[in-house]
């Protein structure tokens, strides 16, 4: 096992299966109060598909009752137990059904992540009259209206719960501001008297502390203590395994650092948490990680946008850059990768939906590589009837490949603007592991890639059935893998093919620094001469050496034509 671990260049050392998360909801689920029951019923199926963790939607009562998706937070302690906002159950079901769904998932070995929304509240029970200042919507640090009295919905007394679990009542002193004056019926950004926006937040609009509803004041000692009590209560009461933290860029950066640290100390567990910091700039995410000492993972928003732009590029996208300037390239151990979510799906506030033709490309990039913790979107797995979107064909195949075959040394061939690929060597202890991936955003072609000497003589087929021909691996471990126009193929040994043993330096010292015409062994890992890492810097120009020797069909002809043009003599006027 020690040899396997040393040679499986992976962020998570070899385990019985790779980790894969699912976001188990989409925005337009019917408000039939039956979702928790469906989650429980699907637990075994999800386990068999390779899911190891499920992110469930917010389980507490929202301002719109049974119609609320869960992000307009009203009562954090009402998990579908009390008659509030016109209903006992939430959109997804009752408290008991929620707890049963959690247990059903855990019984299948699936971790449960609760969606936590702590930045704002909505649907207050009573109004208050207070002084406030009008702030510029696009520069929250600039005051545009002097002090005046407004009427605000800021008193949360939760009469339906009547003090059960917590007797804490909220009033305007616990908040920074709001966006609505109930007396004048005017919208705007109002900062309450004596309050200042938290300074350690995202810098968009000058200060992006305020998002919606009434904004919690994280400098208020009462607020922080109550949220800490709630977190401890929720974790113990529900038995969840971790958290998805909503809109962290709008909350003082120090809050979740302290909140999570105290929870982990209280329960003596390494509680997993991933935050949603919606920004496509890698440097901004890195700054948050630095400020929070890396206590939580982040969704890889830059990667999502790379995939989105590739999908809408009509082929004009340089695939060598698809993984660059992403959290995956910078902090893979903290990167939760995703293709789409409930906010990016059609019709939503952050709509940036990866187009259907590129969905399998994108899922290959997050499911079949060694870096990152992938999250599969409910809408891609089950479909989105509201938008007429069908489940992504081939997604379940990729999930099973991740579960069974995505192990071992990875070889990258990000060496052409249109066609890229990589291989995984697999592990001896996992029969059938290892594969080759090749994809293009334009015309099809082939790429010679090193699969591993242990596959010599094996016949590979495209498990996605996009290419009907087979590929035979040569004696040196190479295959000439092909892909159709605008497509992706995943090549794997045919069932029943016999493979040899992988070369491990700890077992065979003689191959250290062994070199041949194709490449060399370095620290026990074979590196092809034409490998180019997905994360290495590349220049704009295409170097012929990076793909000559492969039958790149049209691309080889393009380079030849370009070279001939350069060799032509340009006439000079005398």
Q: How many residues does the chain have?
A: 574
C-alpha dihedral sign at 71, 73, 79, 83: negative
Closest by Cα among 81, 76, 104 to 94: 81
Helix (H, G, I), strand (E, B) or coil at 282: helix
Contacts of 157 (CB under 8 A, 6+ apart): 125, 126, 169
**Pairwise CA distance, residues 194 & 210, whole Å:** 16
CA distances from 237 to 23, 79, 165 (A): 22, 11, 10
The single residue of 115, 209, 276, 528 carrying the catalytic annotation is 276
Contacts of 159 (CB under 8 A, 6+ apart): 84, 125
365's tokens: 């990039």
Contacts of 412 (CB under 8 A, 6+ apart): 422, 531, 532, 533, 534
C-alpha R_g of the chain: 27
**Pairwise CA distance, residues 498 & 246, whole Å:** 48
C-alpha dihedral sign at 356, 361, 362, 367: positive
Place of tokens 């295409």: 542
**Pairwise CA distance, residues 206 & 208, whole Å:** 7
Beta strands in 341-393 (DSSP E): 373-377
The single residue of 26, 81, 179, 246 carrying the catalytic annotation is 246
C-alpha dihedral sign at 361, 349, 384, 87: positive
Q: Is 405 exposed, middle or buried (0-12, 13-18, 19+ CB in 10 A)?
A: buried
Helix (H, G, I), strand (E, B) or coil at 459: strand
Query: Is 276 a known active-site residue?
Result: yes
**Pairwise CA distance, residues 451 & 491, whole Å:** 10
Place of tokens 């691996």: 473
Contacts of 332 (CB under 8 A, 6+ apart): 11, 371, 372
Closest by Cα among 490, 502, 411 to 453: 502
Active-site positions? 246, 276
């Amino acid at each position: 096992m020690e040899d396997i671990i040393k040679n499986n260049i992976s962020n998570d050392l070899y385990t019985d299966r790779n980790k894969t998360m699912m976001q188990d909801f989409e925005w337009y689920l019917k408000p039939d109060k039956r979702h928790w029951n469906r989650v429980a019923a699907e637990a075994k199926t999800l386990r068999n598909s390779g899911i190891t963790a499920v992110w469930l939607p917010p389980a507490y009562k929202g301002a719109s009752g049974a119609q609320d998706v869960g992000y307009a937070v009203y009562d954090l302690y009402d998990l579908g137990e009390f008659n509030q906002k016109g209903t006992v159950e939430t959109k997804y079901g009752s408290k008991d059904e929620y707890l049963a769904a959690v247990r059903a998932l855990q019984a299948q070995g699936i971790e449960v992540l609760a969606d936590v929304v702590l930045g704002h509240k909505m649907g207050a029970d009573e109004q208050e009259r207070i002084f406030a200042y009008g702030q510029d919507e696009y520069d929250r640090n600039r005051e545009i209206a002097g002090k005046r009295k407004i009427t605000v919905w800021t008193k949360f007394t939760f009469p339906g719960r009547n003090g059960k679990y917590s007797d804490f009542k909220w009033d305007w002193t616990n908040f920074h501001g709001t966006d609505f004056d109930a007396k004048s019926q005017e919208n705007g950004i109002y900062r309450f008297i004596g309050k200042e926006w938290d300074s350690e937040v995202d810098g968009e609009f000058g200060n992006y502390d305020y998002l919606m509803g009434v904004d919690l004041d994280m400098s208020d000692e009462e607020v922080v203590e109550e949220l800490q009590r709630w977190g401890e209560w929720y974790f113990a009461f529900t038995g969840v395994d971790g958290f998805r933290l909503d809109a962290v860029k709008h909350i003082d950066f120090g809050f979740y650092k302290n909140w999570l640290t105290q929870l982990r100390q209280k329960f003596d567990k390494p509680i997993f948490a991933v935050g949603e910091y919606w920004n496509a700039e890698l440097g901004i995410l890195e700054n948050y990680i630095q400020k929070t000492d890396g206590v939580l993972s982040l969704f890889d928003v830059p990667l999502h946008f790379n995939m989105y732009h590739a999908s809408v590029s009509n082929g004009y996208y340089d695939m060598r850059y698809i993984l660059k300037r992403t959290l995956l390239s910078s902090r893979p151990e903290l990167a939760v990768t995703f293709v789409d979510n409930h906010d990016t799906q059609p019709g939503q506030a952050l709509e940036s939906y990866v187009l259907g033709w590129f969905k399998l490309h994108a899922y290959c990039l997050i499911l079949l590589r060694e870096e990152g913790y992938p999250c599969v979107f409910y809408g891609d797995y089950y479909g989105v009837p509201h938008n007429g979107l069908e489940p992504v064909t081939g997604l379940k195949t990729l999930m099973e490949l991740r579960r069974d075959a995505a192990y071992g040394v990875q070889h990258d061939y990000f060496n052409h603007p249109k066609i890229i690929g990589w291989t995984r060597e697999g592990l001896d202890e996992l029969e059938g592991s290892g594969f080759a991936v090749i994809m293009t955003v334009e015309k099809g072609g082939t790429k010679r890639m090193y699969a591993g000497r242990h596959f010599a003589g094996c016949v590979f087929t495209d498990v996605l059935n996009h290419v009907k021909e087979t590929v035979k691996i040569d004696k040196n471990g190479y295959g000439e893998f092909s892909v159709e126009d605008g497509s992706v193929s995943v090549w794997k040994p045919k069932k029943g093919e016999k493979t040899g043993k992988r070369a491990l330096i700890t077992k065979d010292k003689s191959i250290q620094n062994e070199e041949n015409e194709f490449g060399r062994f370095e620290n026990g890992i074979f590196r092809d001469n034409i490998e180019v890492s997905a994360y290495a810097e590349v220049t704009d120009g295409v170097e012929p050496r990076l793909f000559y020797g492969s039958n790149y069909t049209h691309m080889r002809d393009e380079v030849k034509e370009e070279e001939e043009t350069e060799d032509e003599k340009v006439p000079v006027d005398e």
